[in-house]
Amino acid sequence: MATIETVYQGTLRTQAKHVQSGTEILTDAPIDNQGKGEAFSPTDLLAAALGSCMLTIMGIAAREHQMNIENTACSITKIMAANPRRVAEIVVDLKFPENYSDKQQKTLERAALTCPVYLSLHSDLKKSVNFNW
């Protein structure tokens, strides 16, 4: 069974449905690529997936090590390149609401940098991750 079902809606918009939950999201082409920019672009979702995956895997590590990372946040900047048009760099700025020991910081950093999305992205895509403790 498929994980996601996506339908092209016209005018450079798609509607994707998560089969298990029924949750739906829209994508639009960005303004700088002939779109309306009224929703996440596919490349925005790529960048968002990295941040969400890092937070999720850190959450698993935090649970296993009895740490609280609730309200940890990340800001993501996607940098595009041309010829061919692609994501050249994703900058992730993680902000932590609490103070953590050096050991806890290393645990969380290791978790973030081994999340499945991070490991799945091509090595040519620059991933800049800043841990703001």
Residue 102: predicted pLDDT:
98
pTM over 0.85: yes
For the chain, domain boundaries = 4-33, 42-132
DSSP string computed for 57-90? HHHHHHHHTT---TT-EEEEEEEEETTTTEEEEE
- In this predicted model, what pLDDT tens digit does every residue of 76-126 receive, in sequence order? 999 999 999 999 999 999 999 999 999 999 999 999 999 999 999 999 999
Q: How many residues does the chain have?
A: 133
* Residue pair 55/74 in contact by the 8 Å Cβ criterion: yes
Q: What is the pLDDT of residue 108?
A: 98
Cα gap 79→126, rounded to integer Å: 10
d(CA 94, CA 4): 28
Instruction: Supply the pLDDT for residue 92.
Output: 98
Contacts of 122 (CB under 8 A, 6+ apart): none
**Domain formed by 42-132, architecture:** 2-Layer Sandwich (3.30)
Reference 13, options 33, 29, 32, 24; nearest CA is 29
How do residues 25-78 score in pLDDT, each as one tens digit? Answer: 999 999 999 999 999 999 999 999 999 999 999 999 999 999 999 999 999 999
Maximum pairwise Cα distance, the chain: 51
